[in-house]
Structure 1
Amino acid sequence: MTSNYIADSNDWPRLPALEDWQDTCTTLHMWTQIIGKIRLALSPNINHGWGSTLYITTRGLTTSPIPYGKFTFAIDFDFIAHVLRITTSQGTDRAFMLEPMPVAGFYRKAMEALAQLGIEVKIFARPVEVEVAIPFEEDTQHASYDADAVSRFWHALVHADNVFKDFRARFIGKVSPVHLFWGGFDLAVTRFSGRTAPKHPGGAPNVAKRIMEEAYSHEVSSAGFWPGTGLGEAAFYAYAYPTPAGFDKYPVQPEAAYFHDKLGEFILPYEAVRTADHPTQALLSFLQTTYDAAATLAHWDRLALERNIPST
C-alpha cells in the first residue's frame, strides 16, 4: 500500500513523555470540550455525533462554520500564534491568547467573546468521557499551557490527519470524515459495513447510554490517534464493534503493533511510527491490517465496499 504523502521520520515531531505534559494535555482537552460543545449546541444534529467534531487546519483546529441566525461563525485554535480566534461571515472577530489559564478562565473568555459578537449559546457546561467531571466554571485545577508541547502534538495530528484521509479514500462504503472527537480527545476515522449492530452496552464515563447506542448503531471498524491518556504514551488505535471472534489474535502490522487486552483495541505506539524508516507506510499498514481483521472476520462485503487503488 503506497501513499502520495511523503513525510519522513524527520518530519514527524518527537513528542514529550505524556507525564511531562499531562497537565497541559488535560487543560487543552477541557478547552476543546468547551468549543466542541458550542458547535454541538448550535449545529444540525448529524448522526454519530459528526456535527460536533473539530477538524485539523494549517494552523490548528477549527469548528468549521457554525450557523447562527443570518450569519455563520467559526472558532479556531491557532497553535502557531497560540490564539483562540472567533470569526464571523459578517466580517467581525474576537481573539485572545492561548496561555496558562484555568479552564474556568478560558470558559469565561470564550463566552464573553461570543457575546460581544452577538452570539448567545448555552452548553452543558461540564466535561464528558472523563472520570472526574469538574464543571467548566469551577475548574481552576487545570491551568497549564506548554506551547511547545501543544505545537508538537498538533504537528503529529497534522501528519496523522493526512494519512487517515489517504486511508479513508480507499473505501467507497459509508465512512466518517477524519475528525477530532473532543470527548476522548482523539482523531478518528470510521468505516461501516452497512449492517446494524447490537445495542451498545454503554460504560463511557459521564456519557449517557443513549449517546453510545447511537454512536455505535451500526457495525464499524474504527482507527484513531490520541495522546495516550490511560495508556501512558501517544498511540494509534484500532477496534471493531461488535468485536468479531478471533479479532485479538489476527496478525497485524507493523511489528510494533499489539492487542491491548484491557482497552480491547490494537495499539501502535506513536514513537514506533515516528522512528520507522517510512512512517506513512508503517501507519498505513496498521490501518489496513486492523481493518482486514475486522472486515475478514466479520464477513463484510469487501468487493462492494472497497476502492481498488493501484500501486504507484
Structure 2
Amino acid sequence: MAINNTNWPELIFDQLKDTVATVQLWTQIVGKIRLKKTPWLNHSWHVTLYVYPRGLTTHSIPNGDGSFQIDFDFIAHELIVTCSSGESQKIELYPRTVASFYKELFEKLKILGIDVTIYAKPNEIDPAIPFEQDEVHRSYDKEQINKFFKALLTINTIFTGFRSKFSGKCSPVHFFWGAFDLAVTRFSGRRAPLHPGGVPNMPDRVTQEAYSHEVSSCGFWPGNEQFPHPAFYAYCYPTPAAFSEQPVKPTQAFYSTEMGEFFLKYDDVRLAADPEKTLLEFLETTYIAAANTGNWDRNALECDLSWLEG
C-alpha cells in the first residue's frame, strides 16, 4: 500500500516543538474557559477539546440561556468564538505571545457578553508562567501546526474505530490540553487504588479522581525534549508487574521502564506498508496486555461488530 502523505504528514519534533509549546498554552486558556462554564463530568472529561474538520473545538459551552463554542482553525489560522445568538468574533493566529493571545481573547469574550474568570496559570507544565505575563512563548509555524492537525484528523478516525469494539465504559476520543495529547480510555468497571498524584502544577485530587477506576489508555503525543519523537503510547492503571513483559505489535513497539508505558513512534506507523493496520495492532495488543494482566472480564466488556459487515 502506498503511503498517503496527505493523511500521514512527516512530523519532525525539532521543527514542531516551538509551535507546540505556544499552541499548548493557547489551548490551555481555551480549555480552562470550557472548564469553568461546563458542568463537571467524571475524570475531567468536561475540559477536553475535540478534533473537528478544521482543527480543535470545545463543542458547545453553556452560557446563561444560550451557548458558545471556541474553535482553533488550523487551515485559516484563526480562533473563532461563535455564539447561539448569531454573534461571533475572530482572533488571528500568528507568531504572537501567550500574553497577547490571552488579552485579545478575553477582550473578544467581553464584547460577546461572555463573563468568565479562569485560573490563569498552566497545568502539567513547569515552570508555569501566568498567561498574562508570558512573553516567552511566541512561536506559530502555520505549516507545522497544519501538519500536526492533519495527523490528528487521521488518528482521530482510527481511534474512533478502535473505541467502537468496546461495550464497557469508554471515554470519547478527546484532546487533553494539559499534556497536549489525543487519547481514548477504556475502563474495567472496578475501582482502582488511590493514585499517588505528583503531576506538575496539578492538584493531586484531580489526578486521583481521573484515575479512580481501573483504566487501559492509549493516545498520540508530539513528544518532548526527553523523548523527541511524536509517538503513540499505551498504559494502564494500576500497572500489573507482568504488563511490561507482554508481547505487543508491531515489532517496533517498546516498553519504557522510566515512563511506565508502551510506545510506538509515529514514523514507524507513517512509513509502514499499511499505517492504519499497524496502529490498530498497537492499540489492540497493548489493550490485551492490560486486560489480561489486570484480569478484566473481557467477555463482558468487548463487543463483536462482525454482524455489521453482513
Query: Which category describes the TM-score, using the shorter chain as reference length?
Result: over 0.9
Asked if the contact 2:9–2:150 (Cα under 8 Å) also holds between the matched residues in 1, the reply is no
| Aligned 1:257-276 pairs, distance under 5 A | 257-276=253-272
Give the aligned length.
Answer: 307
Per the TM alignment, residue 159 of structure 1 is displaced from its structure 2 partner at its CA by: 0.8
Q: Distance in 1 between matches of 2:58 and 2:128?
A: 23
Q: Which amino acid aligns with 1:257?
A: A
Gaps of 5+ in 1: 1-5
Asked if the contact 2:3–2:271 (Cα under 8 Å) also holds between the matched residues in 1, the reply is no
Q: Distance in 1 between matches of 2:216 and 2:193?
A: 14
Q: Distance in 2 between matches of 1:56 and 1:21?
A: 19
Q: Which amino acid aligns with 2:53?
A: T
Gaps of 5+ in 2: none
Q: Which amino acid aligns with 1:291?
A: Y
Asked if the contact 1:15–1:149 (Cα under 8 Å) also holds between the matched residues in 2, the reply is no
| Residue in structure 1 matched with residue 281 of structure 2 by the alignment | 285
Q: Does 1:237 align with 2:233?
A: yes
**Aligned-partner SS, 1:26:** helix
Asked if the contact 1:63–1:76 (Cα under 8 Å) also holds between the matched residues in 2, the reply is yes
| Residue in structure 2 matched with residue 121 of structure 1 by the alignment | 116
Q: Which amino acid aligns with 2:286?
A: T
| Aligned 1:213-224 pairs, distance under 5 A | 213-224=208-219
Asked if the contact 1:196–1:218 (Cα under 8 Å) also holds between the matched residues in 2, the reply is yes
| Residue in structure 2 matched with residue 3 of structure 1 by the alignment | none
Per the TM alignment, residue 310 of structure 1 is displaced from its structure 2 partner at its CA by: 2.6
RMSD over aligned Cα, in angstroms? Answer: 1.4
Q: Distance in 1 between matches of 2:219 and 2:3?
A: 20
TM-score normalized with structure 2 length = 0.97
**Aligned-partner SS, 1:221:** strand
| Aligned 1:126-141 pairs, distance under 5 A | 126-141=121-136
| Residue in structure 2 matched with residue 34 of structure 1 by the alignment | 29
Per the TM alignment, residue 203 of structure 1 is displaced from its structure 2 partner at its CA by: 1.2
Asked if the contact 1:9–1:275 (Cα under 8 Å) also holds between the matched residues in 2, the reply is no
| Residue in structure 2 matched with residue 158 of structure 1 by the alignment | 153
| Residue in structure 2 matched with residue 70 of structure 1 by the alignment | 65
**Aligned-partner SS, 1:27:** helix
Q: Does 1:23 align with 2:14?
A: no
**Aligned-partner SS, 1:149:** helix
Asked if the contact 1:101–1:144 (Cα under 8 Å) also holds between the matched residues in 2, the reply is yes
TM-score normalized with structure 1 length = 0.96
Per the TM alignment, residue 8 of structure 1 is displaced from its structure 2 partner at its CA by: 5.0
Asked if the contact 1:7–1:280 (Cα under 8 Å) also holds between the matched residues in 2, the reply is no
| Residue in structure 1 matched with residue 52 of structure 2 by the alignment | 57
- Runs of 4+ with >6 A deviation: none
